[in-house]
Amino acid sequence: MRASLRSSLLLSWPLLACCEPHHASACDLGDAPTAVAWPVCPAVCENGGCGDRGLDAWTHREPCLRNPGSEQPICVFTDISFAGGRGISVVTTPERARYLASIPAFTDPANTRVLNPPLPGTPEAAAPRTKLYEIREVPGKGMGVVATTFIPRGSLIMANTASVMTDYRAFNELTKDQYAALQAAAASQLPVAHRSLVLNLSAHDPAAASTLPQPELVERIMAINSFDIDPLSDADPERHYSFFTLFPDIARINHDCRPNAEYLFLGPSTLAQAIHAARDIYPGEEISVSYLNPLQTRAKRAARMRETWGFDCACQACSLRGRLARESDERVEAIGWLHGELSEWSGSRAERSERDDLAMAELLVALYELERLWCLVHEGYVLAALAHNAAGSAWDAMRYARRALDWGVPMVGEEDEDMKEMAKLVESPWGHWSWRWRRERERKRQEQEEAMAKRRETEKGTAAEPGKGRRQGTVKRVEVPDGPLGYEKVREILKRNLEKYLGS
């Protein structure tokens, strides 16, 4: 699953301490015992609690690690009652653990009680229920998630609360051996069925479970299967550090550069990740997400997959060869260029004609659809809606804005800024900031030029000849150089794909 490059600051004097009444003692984490060099505890925790409401919310508050120069110790905080007894472990500082204990995911248990699929081996898993998918062996990929029924576009396929969250501070302030030991402790403190689910995830080596020490195995599972989650809110005391987060059921979903599903983090109300269908999915079809940004050329995607996840992608888009591969790369590059041009509301856009803007917007939508980028096509609809509204075409703007909402909300959520803008535009295109943007800008520009011309005429003391000293209301079109992504190149791409697009 998704991983990211992490930097480790190698420091000496490793510390591992247990939070016991009035003292710290060495802890043995399986195959990685670490001697105490500098005892540290986040609090003096008696059996009845720490006397700290924020930390008392956690059923486990140890072990802890700290290196010289670190502001705070980094500990494993576990709540085995989270999400109806499923449990969660967080590798973070005491200050951040106090903040997490205050968010709705912990203070309102009803938010998370029924979100997750049943854990394997539990009575809930054996109970009859309607299943949208099953986890089974997929040829050439190991385990995967396969649809068992028709799943309409936009449908919620699954949701999963976090199992282990690792604060990026741990990667910055601890050595790899140290944070691996904490991650192993975090997994071991989860309830038995949940712990088994985590340890059975792929480590890209069938023999790893029997040959690797437990900390190394857990670290590898986390690195391969986790997602980067942005800080939860402005109230987060350490919001400059993201969380590296494992969602074990979602981790079973395999990669495709043209996926049929997309993930969405639901925020502090649940600490859950949701998977929605990006297009209609049919029975027997494997459910997939993209581990990387799909708007890259085939060569760049392949390099990133090998570097980060250690395998070569064999999806349909990456299996293209020759002319088909080149045309796909051209479409991807054209999408990037058009997106940049249409997102710019000054500079070259101010000099282009409305006709050019509308043609570019329609081409952008067509290219998203031709590349089958269903998880991102809403971005094209957003820019098309704004282009039509700027040209004063309210009904076309509303049509594209509704498409943007229909396709975009399941992918990015209602609180996404683009979705908020589209909701405003649908409600009143005439009151939206983009309404007749170009014409209003041109009117103001002409007024300024006329005022300047009159001022010059007054200063000269003579009247200007008719038609001199002012623009006649025309917009000069800027000719973009015909480079790799110039106008002529984009027109060529459109011409080559037009028959294919209209016939689809």
- 9-25: pLDDT as tens digits: 222 233 444 443 233 33
Integer Cα distance of 46 and 51 in angstroms: 8
**Structural domain ending residue among the three candidates 247, 274, 289:** 289
pLDDT at 19: 41
Q: How many other C-beta atoms are found inside a 10 Å radius of the C-beta of residue 192?
A: 10
Distance CA 188, CA 195 (A): 6
pTM for this structure?
0.79
Residue 259 lies in a domain: yes
Can you give the pLDDT at residue 2?
Answer: 47
pLDDT of residue 499: 55
Question: Where among 267, 289, 311 does a domain terminate?
Answer: 289
Interstrand relation of 64-65 and 74-79 (parallel, antiparallel or unpaired): antiparallel
Q: Which of 242, 270, 289 is the last residue of a domain?
A: 289
Residues of the chain where predicted confidence (pLDDT) is lower than 50: 1-48, 462-484, 504
Predicted confidence at residue 467, as pLDDT, reads 36
One DSSP character per residue, 232-300 reads S-TT-TTTTS-EEEE-TTGGGSEE-SS-SEEEEE--TTT-EEEEEESS-B-TTPBPEE-SS-SSS-HHH
* pLDDT tens digits, 70-106: 888 999 999 999 999 999 999 999 999 999 999 999 9
Residues 252 and 385 in one domain: no
Q: Is residue 17 part of a domain?
A: no
Same domain for 101 and 221?
Answer: yes
**pLDDT reported for residue 334:** 94
Domain count, the chain: 2
Residues 339 and 271 in one domain: no
The CATH number of residue 164's host domain is: 2.170.270.10
- For 74, the domain range is 27-289
